[in-house]
Amino acid sequence: MVKLNAGNVLLKPSHRRQLMTWLKRAMKLGGQVGDFFLTIRLHRIGRLIEVHADVHDSAGDFAYCVRRPLWQDALREVAHRLTSWLHAQRVGLA
């Protein structure tokens, strides 16, 4: 399950669909690990977008935070990092 809290960042529906596309592999890996819950919070701080990602799954909890000038760059980095961490957890459970 994924929960998105956009805070004071304006995201169009097409942006939300784009984000869900980037997170598709992470959600699949999280489902394989089990008990997967992802919370993403976005906040605008001056000219930067700050993204907090909190993950809860059966292998443990972890969090990641990044600040970038563009929301696409920040969310793409979070999606990439989540995928790599969940893959490592999946391999570790096997």
pLDDT of residue 60: 85
User: Around Cβ 77, how many Cβ atoms within 10 Å?
Assistant: 15
What domains lie within the chain, and their CATH numbers?
2-93 (3.30.160.100)
Distance CA 41, CA 9 (A): 10
Listed residue (58, 59, 56) closest to 40, CA to CA: 56
pLDDT at 93: 66
Cα distance between residue 66 and residue 50, in whole Å: 6
**Entry pTM:** 0.87
Q: 10 Å Cβ neighbour count for 3?
A: 10
Percent of the chain residues topping a pLDDT of 90: 69
pLDDT at 59 over 90: no
Dump pLDDT digits (tens) for 18-47.
999 999 999 999 888 888 999 999 999 999
